[in-house]
Structure 1
């Protein structure tokens, strides 16, 4: 970086052509401004998406029964694959890696009402209390289902907020009774707000044994969820577990329609990989815009060298070494780029603050996919380092050209 006297000389040179230097610097400032906004927006979107996975234990698997599409010797295609409740217990005994396991049985209820109103749109599920250790819902009021509800086959329910409001309005719903297809259930909990992946506001959760008893539901389980121990690699476990299921239920291991396994950790990794690609693309777009400003700086420095040809000749004639001439032009280029870049960073920071302030309620909403523009320290430091390198690169060719000027030719030049 230039010394104080060199900086004073550079500043005097810049003041001689204010408008030209301001327009040149604007190109650099605009480039870094766009770069910071693009990368910040990408970070905010990634943060919002990854927060949505918090509704699930990330080392969890969701297994759905399907219909075979590939035949095996002695087994035709088109068979329905479903599971039994007692088999889930066998799975957990066979695999010590399974920390929690629960069925998720969908009940196609038709009529739901309280003593005041009826409600049409809803989804009903029969689960075990361990379910809420896999899908980590929270309650706004009341409680979740517990093991005692299962043991006593209690006629209780946890419902979404929309159902509670639709059936009871402003009245407290906890402790109230609702009728599901003629079976009266007591509300013991109201779920907290939904997320993008879990639209739970119109859901009803019952103890699995209660669902079986009251609605004559059979033994078949079409879907169940498991949470694995923290040190268990989900992808490796999934592969081994699917092989075991294919042997037990006699379907082809490569039959993708027989069962479907949703691996939350794999999904999270996929999203992370996607956002890394998006971030790379945003960096490339921002850098390309920044380079257009850098090219402008390089062109202006060529003009500066041409205008100061006689001055350079005089400096060299009185003994200034080529190295001093090179650094004089190079430092001026770096200063122009750095000042413009810092202005762009400050402007971007102000705009980010204003955007985040104006979107405050949306950013604070846990269901929002976008968590505002996020500028972090590594991005700021990376941008500053990039600016310094870019300024040096922009001034390198003009500086080398100035350093190679012959004193006699420079003194005879007509450029002022």
Structure 2
């Protein structure tokens, strides 16, 4: 449609009304600029939210015992639903879909100190070694708990980075001992930096059998965690497992308060679905802004057709086919939108780089849920294609109007 001669002609025509065309193109450029920033911000927020799930295996579940709120024949409402550690092994044998399972017993200790300092803000958990295959914490130094720690009821602990800093200062915490409510525990591992979803900097993890032996605590469980095999449907398993627990612990299967199952994969899918809606809304806002600019282009093309009515009449009088007139107006419309779109994309990309550089500390912080703005290739290509199509549509009506002008009327129009 647009050869070199036609491009030069179109460019010369546009330069005759430079200021008007720049202002017209600004509306289009602003629309694509806002679209890229909105979608980029949405993608950055989505990426940050999904990072929150990185501390967990994909098919992990957390089962919390509650209190029954519905009665059954022979069973009153208001009973607490608690589990036994021995039952967890039975669950794993009963359901082949379960890959690993572990208790998670929180012990609210009172005294925590080392040979040098005290520490007050902490949470202690009794877990099995399989727990670290469900919640995929990494250690910065040392190791995580292993099966031998459980079997021998070893007085060992994996601690958070903040606890290590306070209790042992500049000393190497690894291998040192700290005191927790009457028991000295040896540090075998220090957790890597915390994430927002789990403030592990203040956490202590000890073997579950050690917690029972040393503190006589946690013989009954109010929650436990499990990870499913990769080929298992978490949603289907959740329903089957809840029905089984309802039968075993004799509570109504529809009782929402008896137990609560947190399905991490279902949560992740829910967030993804939410962000699809959010991104769709952001696209809608951006496209509406682009369309407002496109309407401006269409109006300017109508003005151009009116101003160049005599020229169009002369062209047609000397034999120019309607198609060439059509292309002449379409070309100007497409060039305005395309150039304005390129300017908008480049400007938006530059602003994205500046914003990301300015908030680099926030992006690098693992506790931040915002991971900067993104401009990816699919968005840029989609925006350009949208602009080209919009430019053609914007100029279509004015171009058809110009192509339908009768030469005699066009030549006489200047006399009015």
If the TM-score is normalised by the length of the shorter chain, which range does it land in? over 0.9
Instruction: Please say if 1:328 is aligned against 2:335.
Output: no
> 1:177, CA displacement in angstroms?
0.9
- Following superposition of structure 1 onto structure 2, how do residues 103-114 of structure 1 map, counting pairs within 5 Å? 103-114=103-114
Question: Which residue is equivalent to 2:238?
Answer: 238
Runs of at least 5 residues in structure 1 that lack an aligned partner in the other structure = none
**Deviations for 1:203-240, whole angstroms, at most 9, x for unmatched residues?**
11010000000001252011100000000000000000
Question: Which residue is equivalent to 1:202?
Answer: 202
Question: Which residue is equivalent to 2:228?
Answer: 228
Instruction: Please say if 1:248 is aligned against 2:248.
Output: yes
Question: Which residue is equivalent to 1:352?
Answer: 352
Q: Would the aligned equivalents of 1:306 and 1:415 in 2 still touch at CA under 8 Å? A: no
Structure 1 Cα separation of the partners of residues 301 and 13 of structure 2: 12
Structure 2 Cα separation of the partners of residues 85 and 116 of structure 1: 36
User: CA separation of 1:415/1:263 partners in 2, compared to 1, >3 Å: closer, same or farther?
Assistant: farther
Question: Which residue is equivalent to 1:265?
Answer: 265
Question: Which residue is equivalent to 1:51?
Answer: 51
> 1:357, CA displacement in angstroms?
2.1
Structure 2 Cα separation of the partners of residues 363 and 120 of structure 1: 30
Question: Which residue is equivalent to 1:134?
Answer: 134
Q: Would the aligned equivalents of 1:160 and 1:202 in 2 still touch at CA under 8 Å? A: yes
TM normalised by structure 1 equals 0.98
Give SS of 1:157's match.
Answer: strand
Question: Which residue is equivalent to 1:387?
Answer: 387
> 1:368, CA displacement in angstroms?
2.2
Question: Which residue is equivalent to 1:173?
Answer: 173
Question: Which residue is equivalent to 2:19?
Answer: 19
Structure 2 Cα separation of the partners of residues 268 and 78 of structure 1: 32
Structure 2 Cα separation of the partners of residues 366 and 203 of structure 1: 17
Q: Once superposed, which parts of structure 1, at least 4 consecutive aligned residues long, lie more than 6 Å away?
A: none
Question: Which residue is equivalent to 1:119?
Answer: 119
User: CA separation of 1:78/1:305 partners in 2, compared to 1, >3 Å: closer, same or farther?
Assistant: same
Q: Would the aligned equivalents of 2:48 and 2:368 in 1 still touch at CA under 8 Å? A: yes
Runs of at least 5 residues in structure 2 that lack an aligned partner in the other structure = none
Q: Would the aligned equivalents of 1:27 and 1:290 in 2 still touch at CA under 8 Å? A: yes
Q: Would the aligned equivalents of 2:196 and 2:366 in 1 still touch at CA under 8 Å? A: no
> 1:375, CA displacement in angstroms?
1.2
- Following superposition of structure 1 onto structure 2, how do residues 284-363 of structure 1 map, counting pairs within 5 Å? 284-363=284-363
Q: Would the aligned equivalents of 2:211 and 2:218 in 1 still touch at CA under 8 Å? A: no
Give SS of 1:121's match.
Answer: coil
> 1:141, CA displacement in angstroms?
1.1
> 1:318, CA displacement in angstroms?
1.1
RMSD value over aligned CA atoms?
1.1
Structure 2 Cα separation of the partners of residues 255 and 158 of structure 1: 37
- Following superposition of structure 1 onto structure 2, how do residues 61-72 of structure 1 map, counting pairs within 5 Å? 61-72=61-72
Give SS of 2:413's match.
Answer: coil
Q: Would the aligned equivalents of 1:68 and 1:79 in 2 still touch at CA under 8 Å? A: yes
> 1:366, CA displacement in angstroms?
2.9
User: CA separation of 1:415/1:341 partners in 2, compared to 1, >3 Å: closer, same or farther?
Assistant: farther
Q: Would the aligned equivalents of 1:310 and 1:415 in 2 still touch at CA under 8 Å? A: no
TM normalised by structure 2 equals 0.98
Question: Which residue is equivalent to 2:402?
Answer: 402
Structure 2 Cα separation of the partners of residues 295 and 193 of structure 1: 52
Question: Which residue is equivalent to 2:143?
Answer: 143
> 1:415, CA displacement in angstroms?
8.1
Q: Would the aligned equivalents of 2:110 and 2:181 in 1 still touch at CA under 8 Å? A: yes
Is 366-375 or 19-28 further displaced after alignment?
Answer: 366-375
Question: Which residue is equivalent to 1:183?
Answer: 183
> 1:333, CA displacement in angstroms?
0.2
For these two proteins, the number of residue pairs brought into alignment is: 416
- Following superposition of structure 1 onto structure 2, how do residues 19-38 of structure 1 map, counting pairs within 5 Å? 19-38=19-38
Structure 2 Cα separation of the partners of residues 67 and 217 of structure 1: 21
Instruction: Please say if 1:86 is aligned against 2:58.
Output: no
Structure 2 Cα separation of the partners of residues 199 and 304 of structure 1: 64
Question: Which residue is equivalent to 1:42?
Answer: 42
Q: Would the aligned equivalents of 1:64 and 1:260 in 2 still touch at CA under 8 Å? A: yes
**Deviations for 1:354-395, whole angstroms, at most 9, x for unmatched residues?**
222222232233332111111111111100100001001110
Q: Would the aligned equivalents of 2:155 and 2:184 in 1 still touch at CA under 8 Å? A: yes
Question: Which residue is equivalent to 1:193?
Answer: 193
Question: Which residue is equivalent to 2:8?
Answer: 8
